[in-house]
Amino acid sequence: MERTFAIVKPDAVKSGKAGQILARIEAAGFTIRGMRLQHLSLKEAEGFYAVHAARPFFGELTQFMSSGPCVLLCLEAPDAIKKWRDTMGATDPAKADAGTLRRDFGMSIGNNATHGSDAPETAAFELGYFFRGMEL
């Protein structure tokens, strides 16, 4: 078993798609181990995306991630990190495969509905950033 960190981003919560995305998460075979609705502050979003601080879209990304509530999730499954990345699809919804969450719910490369950790080290950092051990 493996755990990964996921977010239903503010665009998807705002447009009323969180329930559909959670249903797809369960249908895909993930167990939800942690879940919380939270409106991130700009500082919290900047800390979360610190690895992207030098990227040109950092300001846009952190403004967007702090623009409204999102759903923070700890998901568990065999090979959960890769499985969740596959379930989400490519970063740019226009390039994501049919049947993926970003293809179905994302609007643009910035407003792409979901986040997922990309490696065991980032999953450990991201889960620890948002959840206390006791909550999981």
**Least spacing, CB of residue 22 vs ligand GDP, in Å:** 19
Cβ closest to ligand GDP, residue 70 vs residue 74: 70
By Cβ distance, which residue is nearest to ligand GDP?
A: 110
Helix residue ranges, H only, the chain: 10-14, 18-27, 42-48, 58-65, 80-88, 101-105, 120-130
Q: How far is residue 105 CA from its own chain's centroid?
A: 13
Environment class of 19 (CB within 10 Å of its CB; exposed 0-12, middle 13-18, buried 19+) = exposed
Report in angstroms how near the CB of residue 134 gets to ligand GDP at its nearest.
28
**Minimum CB distance to ligand GDP, residue 61 (Å):** 5
Q: Which is nearer to ligand GDP, 42 or 135 (CB)?
A: 42
- CB atoms inside a 10 Å sphere around CB 114: 27
Residues at the contact surface with ligand GDP, assessed by CB under 6 A = 57, 60-61, 91, 109-110, 112, 115, 118
Q: How far is CA 122 from CA 12, 94, 119, in A?
A: 23, 25, 5
Distance CA 10, CA 28 (A): 22
Identify which of residues 57 and 129 has a Cβ nearer to ligand GDP in the complex.
57
Q: Which of 60, 79 has the CB closer to ligand GDP?
A: 60
Nearest alpha carbon to residue 129 among 65, 79, 86: 65
Is residue 39 part of the annotated active site? The answer reads no
The residue from 115, 116, 123, 126 that is catalytic is 115
- Minimum distance between the CB of residue 62 and ligand GDP, rounded to whole angstroms? 9
Tell me which residues are annotated as active site.
115
